[in-house]
Structure 1
Amino acid sequence: MSTASVDTLALAIERRAREAPTHIAVITGAETLSYDALHRLGLRMAGALDRDGIGVGDTVAVLAANSALYLALMVGAARAGVVLAAIPVSADRAAQAAMIADSGARLLFTDQKGEVACETITVAMDEIGAWMAPDEVSVSQAPVTPDAPMTIIYSSGTTGSPKGIVQPFLYRARMLESGAARGYGADAVTMLATPLYSNTTLSSLVQTIGAGGTIVLMAKFDAGAWLAAAERHRATHAMLVPVMCSRLLAHPDFDRTDLSAFRVKYCTSAPFAPALKQEMLDRWPGGLVEFYGMTEGGASFVLFAHEHRDKLHTVGTIAPGGELRLLNDEDQDVPPGEQGEIVTRSPSMMIGYHNRPGETAACRWTAPDGSIWQRTGDIGRLDEDGFLSIVDRKKDMIISGGFNIYPSDIEAVLITHDQVIEASVVGVPSDTWGETPVAFVVAPGEDGAALMTWLNGRLGKMQRVADVCLVNELPRGPIGKVLKRQLRDSYVMQPVSA
């Protein structure tokens, strides 16, 4: 019997390997791995970590595209009690190096060897077979407590200022337990094409594994390839972000693809337009479920869109085990029906931001009774039926294609330009991405197109701005704060499709 005091991804796969060893755990392209094969790969990973003196509480980092080996590394790290820092491939090189350094990783596993300058010992993904322990190795689950750190999920696209969200083993253990309740089962076939460094992907992956289902894992999203794979494997479930939904529905093969095996599609991570939800319901077999929550943890909200077509403008009702409060600017509860900042709590909460105690404290609220709540930075309103609508975003973070973009990171790059006096970046509506960043810049005599080319060449792929608007001055409030809402509203009249 394991000495671990909390369930882990490694233990879940080990159980399934005993119960149904030949059942397919993961499909990547033309290759498949059974639960037994995935379990053995995880053992070999854990054995190599142990051989290298990397154990409970130590950190390893992964900077790579989705693959079965990436998943096996996650399994091996979980078995060894090692923290896995997931580094986004979409960030620029300097940001990636900063994240690796911030994580304190003792090893870096990457398919981009030589492209990232860091002092961490590196193992190339295509050489990992030689690094792993022998096939006959047997490694027991390391004892880990529920509050021990398991993963560090970094916000994608940050520039020089990485912010890692540290999640404990309990966070994933609760997901392992919730697979059946979310509609997954041993016969589930789940399509995943979002990256493994995203909490969106990990949530669906862990729930599918917990229920003993099969993962179809794509290295990257391509609408045509996704549709073909979903039909070929008779997919029953999918985790999507809104931009993927738009691209799939717009693809010429969509209406001639057999998607009749689908039971439910899950969507999260970005604003999800009611019209797009309606089109999903009208054209795609099976249910549609939207999730609203944070990688930092706290309560989640769930909208069963197929059951509540009159609530498509909302993100649903609070999931079991969660609690919600709406606060005004004085951190007092607002009266029923009024809007306020969304703060939540649940048993699934992050440990904190890695190496950032000040920012960890700032994102939490302590209630009069001493309970700790997670601030979302979003403004919401509950209707009479308990459905939550997102009214506005209190914080300035932009969510584009399911990825978090911090305007201050882009502004910090802009201000290094010789001709830029000041700049402000906001998110504006985008048909493709949900939101996309636009920069408002005071730079007399500069050309906007040339400045945008200069800027985007210095940003990560997901950070790139859709437009640079040259202005004489930035609008400011009485105390000198830039009025970003005014900038955003002025640009809505010029819809962005990029």
Structure 2
Amino acid sequence: MTPQSTIDTILEDDFHPLPYLIRLHAQAAPDRPALVQDGSSLTYAELDALMDRIAASLQRDGLRPRDAIAICAGTSIPYAAVFLGGLRAGVAVAPLAPSSSAESLVTMAKDADARLLFLDRTVAEQLAPVRASITAPTVALDGSDAGKAFDAWLAPEGSKPQPVDIAPDWPFNIIYSSGTTGAPKGIVQPHSMRWTHVQRGRINGYDSSAVTLISTPLYSNTTLVCFFPTVTLGGTVVLMAKFDAGTYLKLAQQYRVTHTMLVPVQYQRIMAREDFGQYDLSSFRWKFCTSAPFSAALKADILKRWPGGLVEYYGMTEGGGTCILSAHEHPDKLHTVGQPAPGHDIRLIDDEGKEVGPGELGEVVGHSPAMMAGYHNQPQKTAEAEWYDPSGKRFIRTGDVGRFDADGFLTLMDRKKDMIISGGFNVYPSDLEAVLQQHPDVVEAAVVGVPSTRWGETPIAFAVVRPGAALDDKTLLSWANERLGKTQRLAAVQITDVLPRSAIGKVLKRELRDSFGRTLD
């Protein structure tokens, strides 16, 4: 049996470890590029050999299967190789966000029980004030003095690790929540969950001819759900260390990119470029989006001007259920996040944990083959995130409020925690944001609730306007309130240069609330 026929056969099985598939691709097509960045590349044969050296190095350092390592660095080929080499050793990988505070990084590395920390100079400088709290040995992926140089740490060329028989329920990675609503929680995703993502990738056209352009960070699950299907199904990943709309378009044209995952704010910046139409994007098969609200107007613009299918995923890093909107197939449903994926059970529940009736609002909960094992070292938080139906079936709570239409498409209202209760009425910020964004000079808007002596809570808005627009706070406030219902009216509007966002584009509403800093009458 040839390596390719073996690949085709095992992809029909219930489970195989992802590093095994990379080895088969190295045998089937050793010279095919696997990872590309800034003119450098690794073929599948080179990647497979480097993964072996990394796995052997981890074993030499005493790491055993189900131990953990942490990676905190900018996107690079060595970063991706360490992630994959760790998996080959049966080690769980905790990719940490460099944008986190130094104290949070220390907390996350300790929570993950990381035996080694891979980092770069930028992260090392950030950690300098708390360096004494980092007990794990450090390895510098960029060859700097941030730790032992990566090349010096690596086992000699040709080194092979001891084989590891990886089980489906072993931890694959520990993805930490952003921590924007409190202490970050470590989401433990098992190998079986990632295998499910690869199986879904086959449906979405990932194969040996796929070229995926990645511009979101490797610590984000948003990135990993397209990174792993690409490299384990034999395609090529083109990495960007930092997103820039112009550079993105140049790379997409240069490498004849077929797949990409972008967050809404990235799509917005790309589509806003005056030279967008000058690039040849005809190679695109699929474009994906997730992680933040994706406006119907932006989806429509992408469908009109950017070749290839457009798919929006709605789900959580914790898993539990995904909705999929194939926007190119359902142009009349662009205001929704689609229908539950095949084999995914999505339901809506009220505050008492009972399922709501057809057409009613409720918190979104989901069950699927791809679900987290739990939050690392936090059984109470895990229990709070779970909901069980009367039969005992386990669901993950999303914290989002939504409604199904008659065709089974889910429309999201807001995060449950972001809903504003003003004078006893439920006010959904997304409704107000949609009205504000109808103003021709408003680029984007965010609405939050702030304390009010009269109403308990009251909505206020922050808006970014087009450069040169002659629009002030009071004018926009008046314009919006003329179009809003009586119980929705805004108490204030602040025009701002930019909305604070996480590294994957989510608006940080807690920062907006804190910046307002006062109680209204």
Q: TM-score, normalized by length of structure 1?
A: 0.81
**Distance between the aligned counterparts of 1:13 and 1:141, measured in 2?**
15
Alignment equivalent of 1:115, drawn from 118, 122, 126: 126
- CA–CA distance in 2 between the matches of 1:375 and 1:469? 30
Contact 1:188 1:235 in 2 (8 A): yes
Match of 1:376 among 363, 386, 398: 398
- CA contact 1:8–1:173 (8 Å) conserved in 2: yes
Q: How does 1:188-227 map to 2 (within 5 A)?
A: 188-227=210-249
**Corresponding letter in the other structure for 1:124:** A
Seq. identity, %:
46
Instruction: For residues 152-192 of structure 1, give each alpha carbon's deviation from its aligned partner in whole angstroms, at most 9, with x where no partner exists.
Output: 11123559822111111111111222221112121111110
Separation (CA, whole Å) in 1 of partners of 2:374 and 2:41: 36
Residue 6 of structure 1: how far off its partner (Å): 4.2
Q: How does 1:82-121 map to 2 (within 5 A)?
A: 82-111=91-120, 112-116=123-127, 117=130, 118-121=134-137
Select 2:282's aligned residue among 248, 253, 260.
260
1:442-483 CA deviation, whole Å, 9 max, x = no partner? 9xxxxxxxxx9xxx9xx9888583572243458xxxxxxxxx
Q: Distance in 2 between matches of 1:201 and 1:435?
A: 25
Alignment partner, residue 57 of structure 1? 66
**Which residue matches 2:77?**
68
Q: Does the 8 Å contact 2:36/2:238 carry over to 1?
A: yes
Give the one of 207, 221, 226 matched to 1:185. Answer: 207
Which AA in structure 1 matches 2:316? Answer: M
The DSSP-based 3-state class of the residue aligned with 1:298 is coil
Preserved contact between residue 343 and residue 373 of structure 1 (Cα < 8 Å): yes
Task: Give 1:441 deviation, angstroms.
Answer: 7.9
Q: 1:460/1:340 Cα in 2 relative to 1: closer, same or farther (>3 Å)?
A: closer
Which residue of the partner structure matches residue 316 of structure 1? Answer: 338
Q: Show CA shifts across 1:77-105 (max 9, x none).
A: 11111011111011122211221122110
| 1:148-159 → structure 2 map (5 Å cutoff) | 148-158=170-180
Cα distance in 2, alignment partners of residues 15 and 435 from structure 1: 48
**CA–CA distance in structure 1, aligned partners of residues 370 and 201 of structure 2:** 15
Aligned-partner residue type, residue 386 of structure 2: R
User: Is the partner of 1:98 in helix, strand or coil?
Assistant: helix
Kept in 2, the 8 Å contact 1:13–1:35? The answer is yes
Segment drifting more, 38-47 vs 432-441: 432-441
1:355 and 2:377 aligned: yes
Query: Corresponding residue for 2:153?
Result: 131
Determine if contact 2:214/2:240 at 8 Å carries over to the other structure.
yes
* One-letter amino acid of the structure 2 residue matched with residue 29 of structure 1: D
Counterpart residue identity of residue 121, structure 1: P
1:471 aligns to 2:491 (yes or no): no
CA contact (8 A) 2:418 2:449 kept: no
Decide whether aligned partners of structure 1 residues 289 and 5 sit closer, same or farther in structure 2, where only a CA change above 3 A counts. Answer: closer
Distance 1:343 1:472, change over 3 A: closer
RMSD of the alignment, in Å? Answer: 2.9
Q: Which moved more, 1:334-343 or 1:20-29?
A: 334-343
1:344 corresponding residue in structure 2:
366
CA contact (8 A) 1:438 1:465 kept: no
Write the letter of the residue equivalent to 2:378.
R
List aligned pairs for 1:139-178, cutoff 5 A.
139-158=161-180, 161-178=183-200
Q: Give the match for residue 457 of structure 2.
A: none
Give secondary structure in 1 for the equivalent of 2:174: strand
Whether the 8 Å CA contact 2:212–2:237 is kept in 1: the answer is: yes
Question: What is the CA-CA distance between 1:366 and the residue it aligns to?
Answer: 1.5
Give runs of ≥4 in structure 1 deviating > 3 Å.
157-160, 426-442, 459-467
- Look up the match of 1:492: none
Deviation at 1:439, TM superposition (A): 8.7
1:460–1:20 distance in 2 versus 1, CA, 3 Å = closer
* Counterpart pick for 2:57 among 24, 48, 60: 48
Q: Which residue of 1 aligns with 2:426?
A: none
Q: SS where residue 360 of structure 1 aligns?
A: helix
Instruction: Please state how far the C-alpha of 1:334 moved relative to its aligned partner.
Output: 1.4
In structure 2, the residue matched to 1:418 is none
Per the TM alignment, residue 433 of structure 1 is displaced from its structure 2 partner at its CA by 10
1:292 maps to which of 304, 314, 321: 314
Contact kept? 2:347, 2:355, Cα under 8 Å: yes
Q: Distance in 2 between matches of 1:114 and 1:381?
A: 47
**1:11 maps to 2:20:** yes
Q: 1:380 to 1:440 in 2, by over 3 A?
A: closer
User: What's the secondary structure of 1:99's corresponding residue?
Assistant: helix
Aligned residues: 432
Distance verdict in 2 for CA 1:360–1:313, change over 3 Å:
same
* CA displacement 1:353-411 (0-9 Å, x = unmatched): 111111110010122111111111111111121111112221349xxxxxxxxxxxxxx
8 Å Cα contact 1:366-1:372 kept in structure 2:
yes
